[in-house]
Amino acid sequence: MTTSPERHSSPAGVRVAVISGSVRKDRLGPTIAGWVAAALDRPIEVDLIDVADVALPDDSLLYPGGGAQSEVADRIAAADAFVFVTPEYNHSYPASLKRLIDWHYGEWRLKPATIVAYGVQGGHAAIEHLRGVLAELSVVTTRRALGLRAPWASLDDQGRYAPDAELSRGLTASLTELRWWAEVLADARRDRPLTI
């Protein structure tokens, strides 16, 4: 396992990992993740992590605190903040995303995250379940989180997600809050290491 690198955050240095959690064939996840990534303006660095592209070891090898270093551990460790893009499956977020979370530990710690969920009714159960899990990993979730109701009904003729302006403003507000936390917590990780 790797731990988060000690690095000083500056406005030019914020790196955000956008993590798309669904792995189904014909999934909508990458479409929503693309909408989120497009809203993250420079100088923010964006790293898109599609869980469908990540080969994790067998869960029989998992132990408390994660497991052997995964192929994306360094990318998660390098991030200052996370956007979790997740569908709602049966009143929660998908098992594929939980596996990615469980296979890492120090990489998540003392960093912020925001959540963009989607589903028939907006994915709010997925948001709340994810908040509790992230708290256990010392991840601070933003007050704002976005629940997209039936986003498949708002695709443009090129298949891109094209919601109304209010949702785009909501995303901007969530990302603004996320960036504030990213800068504050990067400084805090450097200046005031948590010793418990």
Ligand X SMILES: Cc1cc2nc3c(=O)[nH]c(=O)nc-3n(C[C@H](O)[C@H](O)[C@H](O)COP(=O)(O)O)c2cc1C
Secondary structure of the chain as H, E, C letters? CCCCCCCCCCHHHCEEEEEECCCCCCCCHHHHHHHHHHHCCCCCEEEEEEHHHCCCCCHHHCECCECCCCCCHHHHHHCCEEEEEEECECCECCHHHHHHHHCCCCCCCCCEEEEEEEECCCCHHHHHHHHHHHHHCCCEECCCCEEEECHHHHECCCCCECCCHHHHHHHHHHHHHHHHHHHHHHHHHHHCCCCC
Stretch that binds ligand X, among 48-56, 68-76, 83-91, 171-179 (CB under 6 A): 83-91
Q: Which is nearer to ligand X, 66 or 119 (CB)?
A: 119
Q: Which residue is nearest to ligand X (CB)?
A: 119
Name which position in 66, 67, 87, 163 contacts ligand X (CB under 6 A).
87
When asked if residue 8 is in the footprint of ligand X (CB under 6 A), the reply is no
Name which position in 67, 119, 147, 163 contacts ligand X (CB under 6 A).
119
When asked if residue 90 is in the footprint of ligand X (CB under 6 A), the reply is yes
Q: Which is nearer to ligand X, 67 or 87 (CB)?
A: 87
Would you give the binding string for ligand X spanning residues 23-62, x where CB under 6 A is met? -x--xxx---------------------------------
